[in-house]
Amino acid sequence: MNQHTKIYVYSLAGLLFLSSLIAMLYFGYKTFYIEKVESSQPAYSYHFALVAEETENNYWRLVEKGAKQAAAEKGIYLEYIAPNKADNDQLLKLFDRMIAAKVDGIIVQGIEGERFVDLVHKGVERNIPVITIDTDVPSERKAYVGTNNFYAGQLAGRHIIENTDGEQHVGVIVGRFEAINQQERLAGFKDAIKAHPRIQITEIKESNITEIGATQATYAMMKQHPEINVLLGLSALDGLGMVEGLQQIFPTKDVLITSFDILPETMELIREGEIDATIAQYPEQMGSMAVDVLIDLQNRDLVDNKIYTKTEIIEKADLQVEPEVAR
Ligand code: BGC
């Protein structure tokens, strides 16, 4: 090999060596480099679940808001889950799923039937405190947070007694017949009017906790019983639907309308004089109190485990001063 060829061969070998070194470093880096990922594991003290009646219902969204706020303040992860449309079977499945997920506590709307009672038992057996919200059910639940529904029904009765004279034919709209809180409100209402035979229930229909359902039920009821001169709605969207239904069939008829809850649209109708009064519940407060109660239950059982949130009648006259948003 002459001098020239040698230089050539050595340079080529050197070049080859260098390029393979670079390639090795580059691909080795690509293969073995593990990106440093910030730990996405949040430092939550507890994981609670709130199982509601219906996902997009404005009333339940307020319960969720209160619960999430309280949870955020206390470093708790709160999961909100519910059937898309009110459905007891679905709710029970979600409740069961949360037990299986071994959350640290469950807030759930109480529903009728043995399956619910059994699931509460299952949760408690696995050391998961369960509390009912909005609707209570006799069970091993550790506490109830929400309205005294019987009393709320009595309030509605009292309002109608005090604001009418002579014979009254009442058309009642309930959210769902199978909902215990609706049954209790109705029982409270009947109890209040029982000493006043001039006030009689003419018909009771279901809205399926939707505004359109309440509109249709009102329309049908008024058509069949045009003598109805009092309408009472026992769940949050019934007031809106009753006003609409009445408007469609008897736009000028003077009917005393009593609704439930203080959703903004309902308050607007009270301001406009379309709804006479509403029975206020405080869902945000229920949500936040329920979280506080679940925290307490992590360490001890409660002696006083029926925690009633505020319930009151609100009429137009009360709206000069905004209703107290109970916290
Ligand atoms: C009741 C809830 C119900 C909601 C429906 C409220 O008055 O307390 O149980 O889900 O109305 O809109």
Quick: pLDDT tens for 110-163: 999 999 999 999 999 999 999 999 999 999 999 999 999 999 999 999 999 999
Mark residue 219 as left, alpha or beta (left: phi above 0; alpha: psi -120 to 50; beta: remaining): alpha
Ligand 1 centre from 135 Cα, in Å? 9
Ligand 1 centre from 194 Cα, in Å? 25
Contacts of 196 (CB under 8 A, 6+ apart): 161
**Residue with CA nearest ligand 1 atom 1:** 235
Instruction: Give the nearest ligand 1 atom to 175 CA.
Output: 5
Q: How many residues does the chain have?
A: 327
Angle between helices 180-193 and 149-162 (to 10 degrees): 40
**C-alpha span between 266 and 312 (Å, rounded):** 15
Quick one: average pLDDT of 80-89? Answer: 97
Quick one: average pLDDT of 253-265? Answer: 97
Instruction: Give the nearest ligand 1 atom to 52 CA.
Output: 10
Two structure tokens written together for 202: 């003419």
The pLDDT value recorded for residue 327 is 45
When computed from its CA atoms, the radius of gyration of the chain, rounded to whole angstroms, is 30
The DSSP 8-state label assigned to residue 46 in this structure reads E
Residue 257 has pLDDT above 60, yes or no: yes
The pLDDT value recorded for residue 24 is 67
Residue 20 has pLDDT above 80, yes or no: no
The pLDDT value recorded for residue 31 is 57
**Residue with CA nearest ligand 1 atom 10:** 53
How many CB atoms are closer than 10 A to CB 81? 17
CA angle 144, 149, 154 (to 5 degrees): 150
pTM of the predicted model as reported, rounded to 2 decimal places: 0.86
Quick one: average pLDDT of 219-229? Answer: 98
**Residue with CA nearest ligand 1 atom 12:** 236
Is any ligand 1 atom within 6 A of the Cβ of residue 59? yes
**C-alpha span between 126 and 96 (Å, rounded):** 12
Is any ligand 1 atom within 6 A of the Cβ of residue 63? no
pLDDT band at residue 41 using 50, 70 and 90 as cut-offs: low
Mean confidence (pLDDT) of the chain: 92
> With contact defined as beta carbons under 8 Å apart, do 275 and 269 qualify?
yes
Residue 14 has pLDDT above 60, yes or no: yes
Is any ligand 1 atom within 6 A of the Cβ of residue 181? yes
The pLDDT value recorded for residue 28 is 59
Residue 70 CA to its chain's centroid (Å): 15
Angle between helices 211-224 and 238-249 (to 10 degrees): 40
Residue 36 has pLDDT above 60, yes or no: no
Between 3 and 139, name the one with better pLDDT. Answer: 139
Ligand 1: which of 174, 177, 181, 279 to mutate, judged by most atoms within 8 Å of the beta carbon?
181
Is any ligand 1 atom within 6 A of the Cβ of residue 219? no
Residue 172 has pLDDT above 60, yes or no: yes
**C-alpha span between 66 and 293 (Å, rounded):** 13
The DSSP 8-state label assigned to residue 86 in this structure reads -
